[in-house]
Amino acid sequence: MENKIRIKVLTSMSMLIAISLVLVAAVNFPLIPAAPYLKYDPADIPILIGTFLFGTSAGIILTAFTALLQGILISTDGGPIGILMHFAATGSFVVMAGLLYNHTRTKRAAKVALICGTITMTVVMVVFNLLITPFFLGASIKQVIEMLLPIIIPFNLLKAGINSILVWIIYKPVSRFINKI
């Protein structure tokens, strides 16, 4: 019986990675006109659903595989730095949201987890942008600091916030479907 459960979890996680890749390829658009290179995509939604279903460790694994495959197959212009930034953004969200939700699996816990995950991702991306963007874009730290309030912080809050709202809406029906399989 235990092997059957493992196969179900691995199959479900593979399916969530595939859905995430399809979503990032099919739906991506700039959220902030001043930074058209920063694009919204709903790829974190399946990763967060997997985190809520299977735990924080599973969420980190989903994040790693998705970031790597997306960086190699879809968003190739970011290269290794894009993969690292994606892993940092989604990974920080997954760790915070997963730990909070999987500690107490209630609607209230899910709401708190998604809000805290959004804030965590935003803070982590401020730090990562200060450390990495100067090398990636050839910008000075001063230029990156000037981008924080008008671009970087709003982008991360919007992206994570939209994905959180969508996870909040679809998690229960999706989890019921996956649990029936």
CATH number reported for the structural domain that contains residue 99 in this entry:
1.10.1760.20
Asked if the structure places residue 33 within a domain, the reply is no
Phi-psi region of 147 (alpha: psi -120 to 50; beta: other; left: phi over 0): alpha
Asked if the structure places residue 181 within a domain, the reply is no
- Name 39's bridge partners: 30
Residues contacting residue 166 through CB under 8 Å, at least 6 positions apart: 42, 45
Backbone φ and ψ for 7, nearest 5 degrees, come out as: -65, -40
For the chain, the domain total comes to 1
CA angle 30/62/78 to nearest 5° reads 40
For the chain, 181 residues long, give each residue's pLDDT as a single digit of tens.
688 889 999 999 999 999 999 999 999 999 999 899 899 999 999 999 999 999 999 999 999 999 999 999 998 888 999 999 999 999 999 999 999 999 899 999 999 999 999 999 999 999 999 999 998 888 899 999 999 999 999 999 999 999 999 999 999 999 898 878 7
Asked if the structure places residue 137 within a domain, the reply is yes
DSSP letter for 78, please: G
Task: Specify the pLDDT at position 156.
Answer: 98
The distance of Cα 18 from the centroid of its chain, to the nearest Å, equals 14
Residues contacting residue 117 through CB under 8 Å, at least 6 positions apart: 48, 92, 93, 94, 96, 97, 100, 160, 164
Backbone φ and ψ for 150, nearest 5 degrees, come out as: -85, -20
The residue segments making up the domain with residue 139 are: 2-26+40-175
